[in-house]
Structure 1
Amino acid sequence: MASFVTEVLASSGKLEKEDLASKISKISRKVEDTKEEVCDMITKRYKEFLPSLQRSEELMGQVEEVSKEMDTLKNCIETEVQQNIHCSMAEYAKVKQQLEKNTVILTMLGHLKEFHNAMEEFSKAMAENKYVDAAKLLEKAQLSADSLKTWKSSELPLLRALSSELIVQRENFIYHLGDEWKRLAIWKLPSSKEPTNLRWSLKTELKLTLSCSKDGDPSCPALLSCILQALAIQGDLPYKIKLFSQVLLKNMLKPLVIYGGLSVKVTEHSDGPTLTVEHLESHCQQEHSTPSQVYTKLLLVLKTLHSHLLDVSVGEKKLSAILGELIWEELSHCIIHECLVYSIPTNSSQLEKYNAVIKETEEFERSLKEMQYLQRDSTDLLKYAKDVNCHFASKKCKDVIVAARKLMTSKMHNTVRIKPETKLTLPKLPAQGSEASGKQQTVKQSSEVEEEVRLAGHHQQLSSRTLCLPVCRISESVQQLMELALSTLREAVGSSTQCAMQLFFTVRNIFQLFYDVVPTYHKENLLKFPHLAAIQHNNCMYLAHHLLTLGHHFRPHLPQLLSDGIATFVDMVPSFRKLGAQCFLAQLNIQKAELLERLSSARNFSNLDDEENYTAASKAVRQVIHQLKQLGIVWQDVLPVNIYCKAMGSLLNTAICEVMAKIMMLEDISSEDGEHLHTLCQTLIEEGPLVFVPLAEERKNTTYQEEVPLFVQKWMTFKELVIVLRANLQEIVNRWAEGKGPLASEFSSSEMKSLIRALFQNTERRALALTKIK
């Protein structure tokens, strides 16, 4: 303990060693004496058990005094040592700060020296055309300038001058490299104000110069490499290549793909080749080039560029690879949409020939990989060419839908006549296999034997017109639509599963499109013209008729996914039948409304003894007859016989029902009125059935058209009413025959009584007659 205190005091340099040692020695002695006395006191205290209190207090005082002296000495030591430590640390920090300042100054001076040396060497390198070294020296000078700017006094005029000098030298260097680059590829382009077309592209020219120096030294690949690497170091090469690629694509590569009449000509000169876009006379009429022609033209351009400009390494990549990354996506997209898409066959028989295009595409990409324009193994271009089946189906489907829509929106009134012997020409389909064909032949032979046996026992057979469409007219466009559907399904036979699925469902889409488009597109005309409504009815029935068996004919020859059951059109048949019926019924309702409108002008057939009333009624009846005759002219050659007769019968029935209703409402019919009514009704009876007279070619259908009551529900009722209008009471009673006569079968007793009251005056004879009407 004493030695430690002594050492501390000795290090302070302020207290004398002897003084400290003596004091410590005295204290040590007092401590020892005190210890002995304490021990003695304790011994006496515990041995004798009766210590002296006064002596104890003195000893305690001595202990406290020694403790105070130790505390004073301790405080003195701490105070002196702490003061000396703070002084030493302040001196050390000052020295350290000065040293750091000197170090920073030396570092900045070193950077200034490096900057100066770099700029001096840069000037020398530029004079010797050592562009790579010059670029690296500029980068070194830039690093030195950046280091100087981190100094706190970076706003010094000297540093601003150095930065300005560096910027000026860098811009001069880039400008000089730009001049060298421009001399490598010299473009002659058409005016940007002109529209992009075939003639515009003919003004494009690219000259590649082999002279890389102003002195005209021939063939300097090393200097070319230096220029490109210097541009890369300066970060300007990507911009230059990108700008070059854009001009190359817009003015040379894409026009060569888009316009079939363009070609490229390479002219060799002493200072380098020139590529010129020219007009190809042999292909002047060709709208789109074939893939082979496009690949040949593109390879000529790219090979020339590679051999004279792009076969230079910049870092780890060749310049051709950099250019290829910039142009390939847009170029391949252009080739696909401006060339390959037009080369897709429109007929499945041409698909095998398309293998040549796939090989040409593979060769084209292989050549690009050899020149390093292309790095990837799988590209969209080759993938598109190989997916020819899918693209064929897509193109075929698109063309089919476009053609179908064009047919649906064409005029409907151009018609063709359908006869029972007119059958749908189904394409010849390949046999399903020798075994299947043999089995079919066996089945056919056995069925023929059974048919012969059946016919031997029963001298009857099905009519040749069974399952045939009746004679009618349909739109020529609908017949062409059906032929389009057949040809599309024929393409599906023998195709891949995916292709066949696309083509099959495209045919379904054709019919669905017809269902949606035609009623909407021709809506106004279908309501306005009865002729078109009848044609639309026939069109729908024609399609529904063939949809019944269309899937059955093709199903065995389609891929399994389709042949298992989904290759059918039967589900669409009810919709088409309903569509045709609704269209024609809407027109019938319009015609019925017109008939009723004409009869409404007959002044309810009352007071016909008045000449004006009779004239109005007669005019209304004549108008009805005229309307029916006009409809007959329009419909008779269009609609099937049975549909025509039902339609005309329904209209005639509407007219006579309206006439009967108005007559039955009359409360008083004079004899003169009765004669007039009989005359008007007789006109309907005589001229109404004329609308059912068959055409010359339909004489065999007279049975349909001679049975007027079959189609006019109230015809017999109307005839009975006409008889009543001229009959006397006895004749009426006789025809009633106590509720069993022909009159009773058409009228109720109340109706007959009401009619008798209107026709005859109130006499005993009338009363007697009324009693017999029961």
Structure 2
Amino acid sequence: MKFLREVVEVSNENDSVDAKKNIAKILTEIKRYQSKTRSFIDANYVDFLPNLSTNELYLEDGEKLVREVENLMEIVENDTKNDLNIAVDELQQYVEELREAALGLRVSYKILKIDELFQSLESAKSNNEYLEAMNIADKIKSLITDVSDKIFTGLDCYQNVKIKYQVESEMLMHKLRLCFEELVQMSEKSFQNTKAVNVKISKNSSHLHQTIVALFNAKYNPKQLCDFLLENVFQPIITKPVSVELKDDDEDFVQLNLSYSIKDLAEDLRPNYKTVFKSIKTVMTCLSYINVQISDTLCVFNIFGEKLKEQFLNLLIGECLLYAIPDTMDEMNDSTLVEDIIDFNEYLVRLPFLKVDQDRDLIKYAEKIGLLFQNRFCTNILDNAIDIMHKDLHDMILVAESNTSTETAKNPSLFPRCMISKSTLEIINLMEKVIRQTSTVDDEISQRLLSTIPIILNRYLTEVPMYHEKLLHNIPQQTALFHNNCMYLAYWLTKYASKGIDPSENTTKNLQNMGTEYFVNQFKNQRTQLMEILQGFDLSDGVSELGIGPQKAIRQCLRQLDLLKNVWQTILPNAVYTKTMSNLLNDLCSEIIRRILSMEDISSAIANELVEICSIMIERAPTIFKDPLQINVNVKTWTKLTQLKMVLGASLAEITDQWSEGKGPLTLNFKAEEIKHLIRALFQNTDRRAKALASII
């Protein structure tokens, strides 16, 4: 403008009068400019009237005016101030007026600049130039939010300008999202038993790039998108069989199709980890179309990783890789699990879905595979052993077939011929397999494997009694087998102690004690049953005959012993069977003898019945043993019972003859008082009886 140059010339010539005039002229020009711009601003941001004029002319004039006012201020304040022939105070007044006018000029120019940016924003949106639109929106925001500009924030139009920015910004974000959803389409549809998931991504890389960059620069939160991928894509791929198809034959879109069952599936249908890795890579290949570079240090996969990695890695490890640990030593030797996990982790880092230095969950898990395998292997061994322990005990097999009682008598270290449960043999085979495998592994694993053996045996002591509790208490066959099982396991443990097995203190003794304890309890139970049956063996005084009760009770006791014979004779070692049945029979004979000896009066008829009862016992009881003659050696009261039968049917002379003044055979089993009691009960009080009693000394 010409008048500005004139003012500058006047200042240079130190013409104070013209300086004042031209400063006043500038002030007038600024006021005129502000008046025109105010009308434009009021029309657009206060009254919102239709306005066909453009702000370009105002911006151009405003820029020139601002520059030249700044030049004038600099000249007046710095170059000519000391040379003007006017009062300093008067000059200062003109300078202050000029400074105030300049502030107003800058605010007017700022508002016009904001208006220009709004127009540029509309143009960018119309041309789908979203990245440019976001840059313009950021510029508008910086101008509006400048807190140092108190004049602008106090104007009537400020709130309207601010609201317009907020509306434009929200509309831009909305349009960005709509555009993004057109370029990146994700959908899922559920049917009765299955779900279909579809992901379509545009191949228009230019449009996709600027849309995504603009969206993420605007602090777009991809939570909904990430939640969809986790719930409908990654979680099913990791936990169940999924059909994954990537279609790249369309010119406009790449398409990912997934299909899977929404029903609860059996564990054996869980996908192999290699299948899971392959499917995840297919998904990432599809998603790579939106993996654009947002800044020098940030891309979309970085953002996805931050949102997804914690749940993704927890799912991958907990629901896939945990189940991928080999179950057997052979599988472990052939496994490439560690290498595959490391390779997959490197793949995720390259995407870059994970950060190489920070996200080490997969690497740490791979480093623990050896330890986890040991835990899994040992746990599987124990679980397998427990499953075997739950099998029926009565499914049995003969062991130590050649170790007859004659052989074991010669060599007590031999395990005697008997029956054990097949399940016990399975447990032993399992433990021997573990011992064999220790020779193919390093010392650490070897010691870990060997430590499972005492664990299995100690678990046997608690698991079998608990699981088979009722049968062990009620069924003699089960108790006998459990007894043999415990003894055989204890024998095996002693035999294999030289293989490096730590028997964990008293495991061998505990096995022997447990087997003995349960068998003794069964013995007591059988003895109690015999005594209960003998309640029918009523020998009350004052009856003329016994009736059928006592004989029936004896026959029932013998049947009970026959049942035990049928169960135990083929199961128990011969020595154990002989001792057990001898003790039961001895207790039975002792009770019969006790009851007869307790009778005060035995008539001839009753005596004959008692003889018959004793005869039944003497005839049938020896058949309980394989060698009937064993009864004479092993049943202590057997001879006494046979002698009692003789006494009950003998005459006084025969009885005294068998006593023979304390030197006869009766003295081996009877006391003098017992014989005297029988004589008094059997014979009437006569001189002959008195003489006989006198001879019993």
TM-score (norm: length of structure 1):
0.69
Aligned partners of 1:640 and 1:749: how far apart in 2?
Answer: 40
| Inter-CA distance 654–145: structure 2 relative to 1 (3 Å threshold) | farther
Match for 2:596: what amino acid? I
Change (3 A) 1:132 1:305: same
Distance in 2, Cα, partners of 1:107 & 1:422: 116
Q: CA deviation at 1:183?
A: 2.2
Q: Is the 8 A contact 2:401 2:417 kept in 1?
A: yes
- Give the deviation of 1:723 after TM superposition: 1.8
- Say which SS state the counterpart of residue 470 (structure 1) adopts: coil
SS at match of 2:538: helix
**Structure-2 residue corresponding to 1:490:** 436
Aligned residue number for residue 232 of structure 1: 216
Cα RMSD for the two superposed structures = 3.6
1:527 aligns with 2:473: yes
Q: Which letter maps to 1:295?
A: F
Asked if the contact 2:272/2:324 (under 8 Å) is kept, the reply is yes
Query: 1:619/1:505 Cα in 2 relative to 1: closer, same or farther (>3 Å)?
Result: same
* Aligned pairs for 1:121-520 within 5 A: 121-138=120-137, 164-191=163-190, 199-200=194-195, 203-211=196-204, 219-220=205-206, 223-236=207-220, 239-240=221-222, 242-260=223-241, 262-277=243-258, 287=269, 289-306=271-288, 308-314=289-295, 316-354=297-335, 356-377=336-357, 379-421=360-402, 467-520=413-466
User: What is the identity, as a one-letter code, of the residue corresponding to 2:513?
Assistant: K
Letter in 1 for 2:218: Q
1:654-733 equivalence runs, <5 A: 654-692=587-625, 694=626, 702=627, 706-733=629-656
AA matched with 1:580: G
- Deviation string 1:360-415 (CA, Å, 9 cap, x unpaired) is 33333333322222222573334434444323222222222222222212222111
Alpha-carbon spacing, 1:149–1:753, altered in 2? closer, same or farther (3 Å): farther
Q: Does 1:625 align with 2:566?
A: no
- CA deviation profile, 1:630-674 (whole Å, cap 9, x unmatched): 111111111111111111112111211111111111111112211
Distance in 2 between residues matched to 1:332 and 1:136, nearest whole Å: 36
For 1:656 and 1:178, locate their aligned partners in 2 and report how far apart those are by CA, in whole Å: 100
Tell me whether 327-336 or 630-639 shows the greater mean CA deviation: 327-336
CA distance in 2, matches of 1:676, 1:103: 144
Contact 2:217–2:294 under 8 Å retained in 1: no
Residues 551 and 569 of structure 1 are in contact (CA less than 8 Å); yes or no, is this contact kept in structure 2?
no
1:734 to 657, 681, 692: 657
Q: Compared with structure 1, are the counterparts of its residues 265 and 230 closer, same or farther at alpha carbon in structure 2 (3 Å cutoff)?
A: closer
Q: Determine if contact 1:111/1:148 at 8 Å carries over to the other structure.
A: no
Cα separation, 1, equivalents of 2:654 and 2:403: 55
Q: CA deviation at 1:140?
A: 5.6
Name the CA shift for 1:463/1:719 in 2 (closer, same or farther; >3 Å): closer
Give the distance between the partners of 1:169 and 1:516, measured in 2 at CA: 76
How many angstroms apart in 2 are the aligned matches of 1:273 and 1:106? 55
Per the alignment, do residues 500 and 711 of structure 1 end up closer, same or farther by CA in structure 2, a change over 3 Å counting?
A: same
Change (3 A) 1:568 1:108: farther
The 8 Å contact of residues 246 and 254 in structure 2, kept in 1 or not, is answered as: no
Residue 522 (structure 2) pairs with residue 587 (structure 1) = yes
Matched residues in 2 for 1:606 and 1:158: separation?
Answer: 129
CA shift for structure 1 position 691: 1.0
**Alpha-carbon spacing, 1:773–1:348, altered in 2? closer, same or farther (3 Å):** same
1:141 and 1:763, CA in 2 relative to 1: closer, same or farther beyond 3 A? Answer: farther
Change (3 A) 1:110 1:733: farther
Q: Take 1:107 and 1:747, find their aligned partners in 2: how far apart are those partners? A: 138
Deviations 1:207-262 (A, max 9, x none): 11023xxxxxxx30xx54443343334322xx22x332332233333433444563
Name the counterpart of 2:688: 765
- Does the 8 Å contact 1:184/1:309 carry over to 2? no
The 3 A distance-change label for structure 1 pair 579 and 149 is farther
Shift in alpha-carbon separation, 1:150–1:487, aligned structure 2, 3 A: farther
CA distance in 2, matches of 1:209, 1:474: 72
Aligned partner letter, 2:558: I
Q: Judge conservation of contact 1:148–1:159 (CA < 8 Å) in 2.
A: no
- Alpha-carbon deviation of 1:300? 3.0
Alpha-carbon deviations, 1:687-718, whole Å to 9, x = none?
Answer: 111111x2xxxxxxx4xx53213332222222
SS in 2 for 1:469: coil
**Are the structure 2 counterparts of residues 418 and 608 from structure 1 closer, same or farther at C-alpha, using a change threshold of 3 Å?**
farther
Contact 1:420 1:471 (C-alpha < 8 Å) held by counterparts: yes
Match of 1:451 in 2: none
Deviation per residue, 1:130-180 (Å, 9 max, x gap): 434544554565566667899999999977655654443333222111112
- Deviation larger for 726-735 or 409-418: 726-735
Provide the C-alpha distance between the structure 2 equivalents of 1:686 and 1:526, rounded to a whole number of angstroms. Answer: 32
**1:619 CA drift (Å):** 0.9
1:771–1:231 Cα change, 3 Å: same
The aligned runs of 1:509-588 (5 Å cut-off) are: 509-552=455-498, 554-555=499-500, 567-568=502-503, 571-588=506-523
Residue of structure 2 equivalent to 1:563: none
Whether contact under 8 Å (2:242, 2:258) holds in the other structure is no
Change (3 A) 1:736 1:181: same
Give the total of aligned pairs. 589
Q: Distance in 1 between matches of 2:101 and 2:640?
A: 133
Distance 2:558 2:283 in 1: 81
Deviation at 1:102, TM superposition (A): 13
Structure 1: gaps spanning 5 or more residues: 1-100, 212-218, 280-284, 424-460, 556-565, 695-701
- Unmatched 5+ residue regions in structure 2? 1-99, 261-266
1:598 matches 2:591: no
Q: Once the 2 structures are TM-superposed, how far is the Cα of residue 489 of structure 1 from its aligned partner? A: 2.7
Question: Relative to 1, partners in 2 of residues 1:108 and 1:645: Cα closer, same or farther, differing over 3 Å?
Answer: farther
Match of 2:560, SS state, is helix
Match of 2:671 in 1: 748
Distance 1:593 1:132 in 2: 96
Query: Residue 462 and residue 580 in structure 1: after superposition, are their counterparts in 2 closer, same or farther (change >3 A)?
Result: closer
Q: Residue 232 of structure 1 contacts residue 314 of structure 1 at CA under 8 Å; is this kept in 2?
A: no
* 1:108/1:670 CA distance change after superposition, 3 Å: farther
Amino acid at match of 1:603: D
Q: Which has the larger radius of gyration?
A: 1
Query: How far did 1:350 drift?
Result: 3.9
| Structure 2 SS opposite 1:747 | coil
Structure 1 pair 663–161 and aligned structure 2 pair: CA distance change class (3 A)? farther
1:188, distance to aligned residue in structure 2 (A): 3.4
Alpha-carbon separation, structure 1, partners of 2:650 and 2:119? 138
Paired with 1:513 and 1:150, the residues of 2 have a C-alpha distance of 82
Alignment counterpart, residue 637 of structure 1, candidates 567, 570, 579: 570
Secondary structure of the residue aligned to 1:739 is coil
Name the SS of the counterpart of 1:351 in structure 2: helix
